[in-house]
Amino acid sequence: MNCDVKTVIAPVNIAVIKYWGKRDEELILPLNDSVSATLDTSVMCAKTSVCANPHFAEDEIWLNGKKESFSNQRLQNCLKEIKQRAYNEKSIDDIFLTWKVHICSENNFPTAAGLASSAAGYACLVTALAKLYKVKSDISSIARLGSGSACRSVYGGFVRWHAGVNPDGSDSIATQIADSSHWPQMRALILVVGDTKKKISSTIGMKRSADTSELLKYRVQYCVPKRTDDISKAIKEKNFGKFAEITMKDSNQFHAVCMDSYPPYVYLTNISHTIIDLVHKYNEISGETRIAYTFDAGPNACLYLLENEVPKVMSLIQHIFPSSSDKFVTGLNFKEEGLNEEFLKILSIPIQAKDSIKYVIYTKVGDGPTEIKDGSHLLNKDGTPVKSVLI
């Protein structure tokens, strides 16, 4: 029994205008547009293999080496919708759509830890299924059914998710603002403060905010539309100062919405606040905005900055947040830079307890999902997971 295995890798994305709040829970339709940068798959990615066969008894999924239940509604919705699309497009024989599928996926970074694994994971799954069923049209609205933010990982570069107005969600899709080559100096440093599962998931948190926060209503109506247009313009014009200011203000407002919810909930820790303080002081001393921070539903910071700033910022982070790890920084290579004593004095941020930041991922803006054609599948031709992925 041989089947055609399709394998795809897909990126994470980190929003600069945050998606927070749904107008439809089942179709995962957001209250507002959002904007993100897609990060390079050579550093962080999900990898997914899929295959279908008339002899498979049931749909099966293995995630990070473990068999998981296929009863997950979001997973089922994605599969159902991609088959529907294939049927509408007449891209393959109808009989193929009745066969059960096997799916095997793994992330090369922690799952469910606020590092956008669901975004990379569902973008990867839906793209792999689209390859399997030869679906050619835009699939961002199908990735959206897995996790809202996943629709932005379907494209590389800088991406906007349009909230849309149609009740069926047909216009709630992602489009590219600029591709990955547009702003080649743009870099991201992910400062991992905690990589354990968060107490309040994004799904639960944003529901509570949509139900109770007055500030969220104000944000959706008055702040996000202007910010979204302004940041798209800043990206197109490569205006880092503007890009950074909007990014930080939007992150701060999102976390203020969490506090404005009832009961309130908090994702940022003291270390997150020290990072915020550090960035503002750094920018102030520099006389211009050279670093932006943004925080998702967790304590980890994503710093956006330009490549020429990386050596200094990285040395500073290693100085303020000492580590006992010899693998403190992973990802792209960079040169160390000596720190100026005078600069440290003016900065006056105290050195933090060892390992307050667990590790740093250094990456850049990258492309969308890509099919892997070198044969390094996660499924064997008989649909069983390859041995090395099982734990």
List residues near ligand DP6 by CB under 6 A: 15, 18-19, 28, 34, 118, 147-149, 202-203, 296-297
Contact of residue 121 among ligand ATP, ligand DP6, none (CB under 5-8 Å per partner type):
ligand ATP
Q: How far is the CB of 374 from ligand ATP (least distance, A)?
A: 19
Task: Please list, residue by residue across 100-118, b when 16 or more beta carbons sit within 10 angstroms of its beta carbon and e when fewer do.
Answer: bbbbbbbbebebebbbbbb
Q: Give the strand order in the sheet containing 34-38.
A: 13-17, 34-38, 158-161, 174-178
Q: Does 117 bind ligand ATP (CB under 6 A)?
A: yes
Contact of residue 125 among ligand DP6, ligand ATP, none (CB under 5-8 Å per partner type):
ligand ATP
Angle, helix 270-286 to helix 310-320, in steps of 10 degrees: 140
Q: How far is the CB of 28 from ligand DP6 (least distance, A)?
A: 5
Q: How far is the CB of 52 from ligand ATP (least distance, A)?
A: 17
User: What residues contact residue 203 under an 8 Å CB cut-off, 6+ apart?
Assistant: none
Main-chain phi, psi angles of 187, to 5 degrees? -130, 160
Main-chain phi, psi angles of 81, to 5 degrees? -70, -35
Q: Segment 183-222, which members bind ligand ATP (CB under 6 A)?
A: 201-202
Q: How far is the CB of 148 from ligand ATP (least distance, A)?
A: 9
Contact of residue 141 among ligand DP6, ligand ATP, none (CB under 5-8 Å per partner type):
none
Residues forming a β-bridge with 39? 365
Q: Which of 282, 275, 229 lies closest to 255 in space, CA to CA?
A: 275
CA distance 31 to 15: 15
Q: Which is nearer to ligand DP6, 118 or 283 (CB)?
A: 118
Contact of residue 39 among ligand DP6, ligand ATP, none (CB under 5-8 Å per partner type):
none
The string of DSSP letters for 256-269 reads: HHHHHSSS------
Q: How far is the CB of 287 from ligand ATP (least distance, A)?
A: 34
Q: Which is nearer to ligand ATP, 141 or 289 (CB)?
A: 141
Q: By the criterion CB under 6 A, which residues form the site for ligand ATP?
A: 46, 48, 63, 105, 107, 111-119, 121-122, 124-125, 201-202, 296-297
